[in-house]
Structure 1
């Protein structure tokens, strides 16, 4: 009688060994596909790696200063609105500026915003003139840290010329950005713990690939499509495995991500040419065109279309892969068709929410352009296809198509992998008909599987196997223990 309980324990141990062996088998199947792809990607990366030289590229640094001119920082002590002719003074209005204003009555009515600023390097407060657009849109206030151009020691500069000696350049944003970065890292690590920390480190690695490989490659005129595909694949390999570990789930998500990247790259290449995305409406694109003949603005746009969808694509593929594994472990006897159908229910919900995520993310980034276009009172169709908005619209559509198609492909790959592991003996036989015999060691959630009758039979069978027969020694012992507790 007692041997029956011992036999159940032996069966559980044997099942665990089978599960471990099955997962190893799944990893081998995926490695046979992913290892050649990874090696091919690394070889392509080595061949495309930029030299790092910037010969023939001339771009004036807007923050470079002429002899005697410096960029200084300081803290605003007070703000005043005065005549613009008083800007030549370093500490405040004097009778000299009043005389200058009288000599030039055409500017007496012009008022400017001045910030009396204490330099961080020490010394008396200086009078910094604030740009009109900054004064009107955001303004400055006491306590702000600003960066300003110091022209007081410039060669040939003279305060008597009526030009300001200190000109506002930008705000110093170091503290708020550092605070937000530390808060973000703290929240991610506190909630996701070690995995969150690894994801942050993986993000640093991703930016390293972007800055050291993709951007210099675009500057040197490397093929943008190959550059984006190779760089994005390397980023995804590093980020996925570093954040989620080496497992069949991660490898499945990586395969789905590669498929999504391929679809996105093909669509982006076609759309960039078909829609004539030249980037001529952007000031930054115009600057790049005049910087070097080797920089292709269309290539930069193409590369941007592919990179922009990486984060969301990674999100949906890893979610779908994990969903398939969890569903299968909850009900190992589920058929491949039912497993795919159940996982796609989750995928469809994810598709709906992710489409909104991409659309609103791009809309938020292009909000100033949207407002300007709205004020033009142009027809909707003409507006969406205009030079100002067409790039954002195509980026949204291309990224959405890639991630939507990646979900069923990732789900299918995950189902094929879990079924190829061959752990059908761990649950109900394939199909899971009521009354079938098997060993169920995982909790079953009927919300994820259609065949509730099979699940109920599995649960009943599991209870019957773990309940000693009436009159047996084990049953008498269990009743005695309940009586003692009572």
Structure 2
């Protein structure tokens, strides 16, 4: 086994280990009530007699007969209720043959209540993930395996470090910086290696994100945002987390949202500088910095628009609603939710603009040849 194949195999083993840790370290039972368990079941009978339909929405409840297909209740027939609130973004309308997740309440080892939670979509999501993994490895080969490792590490750090610490009420900005510092190191050094290219990309990313964090705090204070514009923010607060600083958590979401693009730009500029240095070893620091600036300008030209499209896509239906109601530009631009998204887009874009030249300067200094040499 040659060295490159051996390294790829090791990275592959790490990917499997992290994936297994992520999957099996999550308890499927409810964290709020230890008497409630979540099971997978198949719908065998549906009773819609208590459902009132109005167009595409429905209010009332379905009574379902389901058969458990996992857990200690496997093969057992259970009666499950599915509450319908008339909200299409929350409701699931089940039919015979559907596989669902049901929450069953147990007392003295007997099921005393059961409710439908969600349609079981996991298998299809897993298929999409496998397609992503296969295409990534086919195209990028050993780099693809490294990228997959960093992808899984990112999931693990976000779910096991960032989210728990935020919920425990620790300083969101400090936790976010530690998270991004660790993730930037993992992602960039895993892909680029611990060399001048990786160091340049890492320092450029961290410097840009620090400046972006400061700008976010300053601008956010001026806009008078309370941090409640993010999805489910209100639900979290009224779930008992009244002491959370939702404004700072909103700031954290901005920084994390732009961090991936910042790493992309930093790596693009750093890689370009290394390629130039490889082809022209005598290139000076000044010339290499100038080349890095030129590459950064081209990348920023498309990346800024990418951020705008990404955020606009998330609120496409809201933009459609504005068109329907013929809302004025002044009203739209000053709405809290729109102001928050504009802030998110512009602050993220400013961060990207900052990352590119900083990375070019660092890469030029580290890789270029000093003039007096």
| TM-score when normalising by structure 1 | 0.58
Q: How does 1:334-345 map to 2 (within 5 A)?
A: 334=283, 336-345=285-294
Of residues 201, 207, 210, the one that matches 1:259 is 207
Q: CA RMSD in A?
A: 3.8
Q: Secondary structure at the match of 1:222?
A: coil
Q: Secondary structure at the match of 1:388?
A: helix
Look up the match of 1:244: 192
Question: 1:340 offset after TM fit, Å?
Answer: 3.7
CA distance in 2: counterparts of 1:212 and 1:111, whole angstroms: 37
The 1:145/1:412 distance shift into structure 2, 3 A limit, reads same
CA distance in 2: counterparts of 1:384 and 1:225, whole angstroms: 27
Look up the match of 1:471: none
Look up the match of 1:306: 255
Question: 1:371 offset after TM fit, Å?
Answer: 4.0
Query: Are 1:379 and 2:333 matched, yes or no?
Result: no
CA distance in 2: counterparts of 1:405 and 1:377, whole angstroms: 37
CA distance in 2: counterparts of 1:396 and 1:382, whole angstroms: 19
CA distance in 1: counterparts of 2:145 and 2:258, whole angstroms: 23
Q: Secondary structure at the match of 2:312?
A: helix
The 1:217/1:66 distance shift into structure 2, 3 A limit, reads closer
Question: 1:216 offset after TM fit, Å?
Answer: 3.7
Query: Are 1:73 and 2:40 matched, yes or no?
Result: yes
CA distance in 1: counterparts of 2:204 and 2:135, whole angstroms: 29
Look up the match of 2:147: 199
Structure 2 residues without counterparts, runs of 5 or longer: 1-28, 53-58
The 1:212/1:111 distance shift into structure 2, 3 A limit, reads closer
CA distance in 1: counterparts of 2:122 and 2:279, whole angstroms: 49
Aligned length in residues: 332
CA distance in 1: counterparts of 2:349 and 2:248, whole angstroms: 20
Look up the match of 2:234: 286
Look up the match of 1:410: 359
| TM-score when normalising by structure 2 | 0.74
After superposition, what is the alpha-carbon deviation per residue over 1:457-481, rounded to whole angstroms, capped at 9, x for unaligned? Answer: xxxxxxxxxxxxxxxxxxxxxxxxx
**Structure with the higher strand share, 1 or 2:** 2
Of residues 118, 125, 131, the one that matches 1:170 is 118
The 1:402/1:282 distance shift into structure 2, 3 A limit, reads closer
Contact 1:327–1:343 at 8 Å: present in 2 too? no
The 1:222/1:125 distance shift into structure 2, 3 A limit, reads closer
Q: How does 1:78-477 map to 2 (within 5 A)?
A: 82=49, 84=51, 117-120=66-69, 121-124=74-77, 126=79, 129=82, 131=84, 132-134=86-88, 139-148=93-102, 167-281=115-229, 284-290=232-238, 291-334=240-283, 336-420=285-369
Contact 1:253–1:317 at 8 Å: present in 2 too? yes
CA distance in 1: counterparts of 2:49 and 2:319, whole angstroms: 35
Question: 1:250 offset after TM fit, Å?
Answer: 0.9
Look up the match of 1:91: none
Pick the structure with greater CA Rg: 1
After superposition, what is the alpha-carbon deviation per residue over 1:177-235, rounded to whole angstroms, capped at 9, x for unaligned? Answer: 22222222222222222222222222333344334443343334433333322321122
The 1:370/1:117 distance shift into structure 2, 3 A limit, reads farther
Q: Secondary structure at the match of 2:42?
A: strand
Structure 1 residues without counterparts, runs of 5 or longer: 1-61, 86-109, 159-164, 425-486
Q: Secondary structure at the match of 2:117?
A: strand
After superposition, what is the alpha-carbon deviation per residue over 1:428-464, rounded to whole angstroms, capped at 9, x for unaligned? Answer: xxxxxxxxxxxxxxxxxxxxxxxxxxxxxxxxxxxxx
Contact 2:43–2:99 at 8 Å: present in 1 too? yes
Q: Secondary structure at the match of 2:141?
A: helix
CA distance in 2: counterparts of 1:215 and 1:126, whole angstroms: 35
The 1:219/1:65 distance shift into structure 2, 3 A limit, reads closer
Contact 2:63–2:82 at 8 Å: present in 1 too? yes
